[in-house]
């Protein structure tokens, strides 16, 4: 005989670990909360990767302006330019971000307005990536001032727009979780 957990424990589990909670319950509110928590995790992935790219854009521009080098060994014998780390951030986050965006796009738990907002977030992320690639090209060509100007005029604004848009969508999803949990009591 299987132990049947109280509904409140399953609701809490759905927030903490969406997939295991889905496997443990046939209860609709738990499934809905679990699915929504999974969507928030995917949105967090895009936001985290965007923030990392924006951070390394700033570091690369400052590194180009002040001729910084990043040490990869204790004795300092292996160094790279900060623009190389920006390149790595762009490459490392690409597949993970695409998977998260695809999962959000496939979701059946989102209304059309939220899906449009998420599509806008994905477009902003793509634009941020393009700015990062352009910054790298400017720095490789010795055009530090152009890289700094691009970061100042577009990179920072995209970073803010992404943070605001993802916060707005996540707030709505958190509200949906609260509503579902209250209704399930």
Lowest mean pLDDT among 13-27, 37-51, 149-163, 164-178: 13-27
Residue 8 inside a domain? The answer is: no
Strand partners, 44: none
How far apart CA 30 and CA 12 sit, in angstroms, is 9
List the CATH number of the domain containing 39: 1.20.120
Contact at 8 Å (CB) between 184 and 11? yes
Which residue range forms the structural domain that includes residue 38?
Answer: 29-184
Question: Which of 12-16, 33-37, 109-113, 155-159 shows the lowest per-residue confidence on average (mean pLDDT)?
Answer: 12-16
Domain for residue 48, yes or no?
yes
77: three-class secondary structure by DSSP: coil
Mean pLDDT along residues 82-104: 94
Q: What is the DSSP string of 5-63?
A: --HHHHHHHHHH-HHHHHHH---HHHHHHHHHHHHHHHHHHHHHHHHHHHHHHHHHHHH
Is 15 within a domain? Answer: no
Q: With contact defined as beta carbons under 8 Å apart, do 72 and 78 qualify?
A: yes
User: What's the total number of domains in the chain?
Assistant: 1
98: in domain: yes
């Amino acid at each position: 005989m299987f132990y049947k957990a109280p509904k409140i424990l399953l609701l809490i589990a759905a927030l903490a670990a969406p997939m295991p909670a889905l496997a443990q319950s046939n209860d609709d509110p738990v499934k809905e909360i679990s699915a929504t928590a999974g969507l928030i995790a995917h949105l967090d992935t895009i936001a985290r990767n965007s923030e990392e790219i924006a951070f390394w854009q700033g570091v690369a521009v400052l590194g180009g302006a002040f001729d910084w080098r990043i040490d990869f060994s204790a004795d300092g014998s292996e160094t790279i330019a900060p623009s190389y780390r920006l390149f790595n951030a762009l490459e490392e986050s690409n597949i993970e971000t695409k998977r998260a965006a695809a999962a959000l796009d496939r979701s059946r738990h989102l209304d059309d307005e939220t899906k449009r907002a998420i599509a806008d977030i994905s477009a902003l992320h793509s634009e941020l990536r393009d700015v990062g690639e352009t910054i790298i090209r400017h720095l490789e060509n010795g055009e530090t001032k152009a890289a700094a100007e691009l970061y100042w005029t577009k990179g920072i604004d995209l970073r803010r727009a992404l943070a605001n848009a993802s916060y707005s969508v996540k707030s709505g999803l958190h509200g949906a979780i609260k509503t579902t949990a209250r209704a399930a009591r």
